[in-house]
Structures are given as C-alpha cells and as structure tokens.
Amino acid sequence: MTTQPQTGAHPGPISTQTERVLRDFVRDAVSHLSEALKDSAPEFEDGARWERGTDGHFRERKKRLRTLWPMLSDEWLRSLPGYQTCVECLKSDVVVGPHLDRLVGTSMSSSRLEANNILKSLMYAALDDEGRLAFTDERFHGKWRELASFFGASQIASKMVAPLPRLVIPAFPLRLNNELVLDRLTDDEVTRCYQVGVIRPDSLRSPLIYGDVAVGIRRTTFLPKLIRRDDEPHKPPEAVDEGSFGNRPLFRDDLVIDDVLSALRLLKHTQIRAAGCASWTDSHWLKDGTSFRVLGQWPYWGKFELSEGEVPQFLELWRLLEEGAKRFGFSIHRFNLAFDRGLLADRIVDFVIAAESLFLGDLNIQDRGELRFRFALRAAKFIEHPNYGEHDVFRIMRQAYDARSSIVHGGSPKETRLPDNQSTKLSTFIDAIEELVRIGLRKALSMKEDGKKMRQAEYWDTLVFSNPNP
C-alpha cells in the first residue's frame, strides 16, 4: 500500500523555481490561447451565486462563466513550447510531486490530480468577470497561493451547515466546541444551502434571503489528507457508534443538529427548527459536490433570541450536556422530539415519557406499582419551579400522567387545569408540562456525577421522606 496520510509536518514550501516555471508557462499559454480564440465567439455557462448586500440580505447574482473548452484541451496544452519542462518541474517538486497522477482527498472523497489540472486552473484564473482572458501577476499569484495552500496542507476540511432561521445572538460567532459554531452563513454557504433546498427566500415574488434567516450551525471537521494510487482499494469510513453529545461521527449530522436544538430548547421555550443541512469537502479539488439532508419543510418561523445575559447560561448548559447528556440521553431525546411533533397529543406523550425516564429510572419490572403517584411525588420534590409549589407540581404532573395514559389508550386528556388558570387550553397545559420537564432536566444535568444517584431508590427515599428508613 502506498496510501499516504499527510499528517504532521510537510516537507517545506513549494520550490520558488516551480512557481517561476509555472508562471512563465501560464503567461505564454494564456497569450497563445487568447490569440487562438480572438476570431471565435466566446461561449458561456450560466451560473448563480447568492451574495450578501450592504443591508445584510442575500440576493441572487446571475453570472456567466466563460468556457475555454474545447480549445483548452490536454492535446492543445501538450503542443505548447515548454509544456514538458513545466510538467517535469511539477513532478520533481518535493511538495507537489507526490500528489500528481494519484487520487487525492480524504476517507470521504477523492479525485485524481494531474499536472494538466493545475495548469488549466491557473489559466482559468486569468479570466476577468466579463470573460476576458488576460494574464496578470495578481490573478496568477492569487490562484497559486490557493493551490500552494492545498498542496502544503496535511488535512482537508469537511464542512456541514444547517440553517437555523431567525436565531439571534448578541455577537456572532458563538463557539460551542472545536468543531461547532453558531454563526452567520457566508455567500458560499447560502448558495450551497439554496441549491439543495434547505434555505429559501420567504417569497418567490421577492427573491431575497434575509440576513436573519441566513444563520445557523457550522461544523468543520479536519480529516487527514490521503494520497493513493488508482489501483488501491478505497476503504470508506466504517460505521461507528453515535458518539457523544456535541461530538458526533461524520455521517451523523442529524445528531449534531439535534444536539444544538436540544440545548436551545432546554434553555427556554422556542419554536426554532432546522429545515436540513448541506455538507461538502471544503477543498479546491473536491468542492463541487454537495450532499444534503432535508429534515423538514420550509419555511420555519420560530425565532430564538439569546440576550447578553443568557449567552453564559447557554454555554454553561452546553458544557453540562457535553459532560452529562449520556446519563439522561433518553429523556433529552424524547424532550427534543416533542418540539417537532405536529399533534398536541404527541407532545404530551413525549414530555411525559421524558419525565418518566428521569423520575422512575430506578424501578425494575417487579417494582412498578403506584407509578402515577411516585411519578408525581418525585417530580414535586425534585422540580424547583419559580411560581408553583410542591403541591402544584404534584397535581400538574399527575394530570400529565393521566393525560398521557388517556392518549395512548385512544382517549383524550380530561383534566388540564393549572393552579393559576382554571380554564386552561390544552396547548397552555402542554407548555406548563414542557417547562416543568425542562427545569427537571436542567437540575439533573447540574448534579453532574451525582446525577447517577437518580437511578437509585435510596436517593428518592431521602428526597421524599424527612426520615427515610435505613
């Protein structure tokens, strides 16, 4: 095997001789190509890109991209003076040479790289916005710096973006860990998300993507750069487990999105959602393909605003989730699921299941009598609500348990009164349950390692009774 993972130090900068030889060849090649094309009508391909304006909103900019094919072919390049010398210089360069005539990429994707790819890329850089072909040192060196950065890198970035429309934060970006940030999306990110259907203008009559829509999750993962022969079998990444909160495998972008949404929803009530995500390899040679996953239908109108004072609270909650979400993973998962349900009845079921997992996790099959009473009593003793006392919490959670039981047996909730509202609508009652479960989960997370005790009957006996039996 000659697969070469490029990790650690690379052999140094690309030779200045390589750069000089390429510059001279490309300058002459552009001159020859301009002369060959002067009597022919230029051909263009239509393209489009979403660009942020001075007002912060994105508008689609139509762009015509001039094609130099079929004149700029491999055969034509080989016919130019100095071509062979240029290719030999590239192959002998200690940095560029190992990449040539090899499949270059990562464990996720790769593409064959030849000397002609480099030469054509440098020649296309000589085109201006109007499609005029003219060599300039500025254009050459701009593209060359991009290529040199790729050849000298030991890693290649894999990027995932999931728009969270109308997420408002005092200052972007907000970093969650080494891979994840909440940030405004770039022109390229908005363009890719639009192309795969996970971001849209609010109206087809007004083709405008508002700046407060073009925000969301960005995950950047750096993978080792791999260089291999054509005849070497490609071993795709093996399926792994689900990882941990905030640190998910590459193929589980859906879990990354769930983690962020779980944290936002555990902080406070919100209707914010993600319509989906787009992912790609962020490399000069591998940037054309964009994979995507649609998670819901556009548009989403829920707004989530973090105040300056809430940012530290959110980051602390995120740290607690990274450290302890595994202990309460099922409860957090069911709590999060409730926000994406279309039916109120489904939301009740999810919230109560989340609470059951939290408050009845110590019970075995033989010890499940009086579940309704234990469920409500433990919740009342554990949850510290700013407005409801223990008796209030007990009654609400008992009603929630009854409502869940009625629903799963084909009925409907009968008792939905709240202590401060005797004519409560079902949706308001569900919001009260949501808030109680949220407070319970956050308290459980704040217990850190002591959260394990919630799986022990002795913990609940001590909490419920002033003098529990030994």
Q: What is the 3-state secondary structure of 124-185?
A: HCCECCCCCECCCHHHHHHHHHHHHHHHHCCEEEEEEEEECCCEECCCCCEECCCCEEEEEC
69: confidence class by pLDDT, cuts 50, 70, 90 = confident
- Counting beta carbons within 10 angstroms of the beta carbon of residue 46, is it exposed (0 to 12), middle (13 to 18) or buried (19 or more)? exposed
Mapped onto helix, strand or coil, the DSSP state of residue 426 is helix
What is the overall mean pLDDT for the chain?
90
Q: Maximum CA pair distance of the chain?
A: 99
Confirm whether 122 is domain-assigned.
Answer: yes
Confirm whether 160 is domain-assigned.
Answer: no
d(CA 108, CA 284): 15
Q: Give me the pLDDT at residue 347, please.
A: 96
What's the mean pLDDT in 57-84?
93
Confirm whether 259 is domain-assigned.
Answer: no
Confirm whether 97 is domain-assigned.
Answer: yes
Cβ contact 29:123 at 8 Å: yes
Confirm whether 262 is domain-assigned.
Answer: no
**What's at 10, amino acid-wise?**
H
d(CA 414, CA 403): 7
202: confidence class by pLDDT, cuts 50, 70, 90 = confident
Cis peptide before 470 (omega within 30 of 0): no
**pLDDT at position 296 over 60:** yes
How many CB atoms sit inside 10 A of residue 353's CB? Answer: 20
Among candidate residues 357, 372, 377, the one with its CA nearest the CA of residue 404: 372
d(CA 285, CA 383): 54
Q: Bigger pLDDT: 433 or 69?
A: 433
Task: Look up residue 129 and give its two tokens.
Answer: 């916005």
**pLDDT at position 7 over 60:** no
**Please, what sign has the CA dihedral across residues 241, 247, 249, 253?**
positive
Cis peptide before 299 (omega within 30 of 0): yes
Confirm whether 28 is domain-assigned.
Answer: yes
End residue of a domain, out of 119, 154, 189: 154
End residue of a domain, out of 136, 154, 172: 154
Residues 6 or more apart whose Cβ sits within 8 Å of residue 40 = 71
How many separate domains does the chain show?
Answer: 2
**pLDDT at position 3 over 60:** no
Confirm whether 65 is domain-assigned.
Answer: yes
Alpha-carbon distance values, 70 to 37, 75, 123 (Å) = 11, 10, 14
For the entire predicted model, the pTM comes to 0.90
Q: Give me the pLDDT at residue 5, please.
A: 44
Asked which of 82-86, 144-148, 199-203 is least confident by mean pLDDT, the reply is 199-203
HSE (CB half, 13 Å, CA atoms) of 86?
25
Share of the chain above pLDDT 90, in %: 73
d(CA 107, CA 152): 18
Q: Give me the pLDDT at residue 9, please.
A: 41
End residue of a domain, out of 118, 139, 154: 154
Domain membership of residue 37 as a residue range:
4-154
Q: Give me the pLDDT at residue 1, please.
A: 34
**pLDDT at position 430 over 90:** yes
What's the mean pLDDT in 339-347?
93
Confirm whether 96 is domain-assigned.
Answer: yes
Q: Bigger pLDDT: 308 or 415?
A: 308
Asked which of 36-45, 138-147, 281-290, 309-318 is least confident by mean pLDDT, the reply is 281-290
65: confidence class by pLDDT, cuts 50, 70, 90 = confident
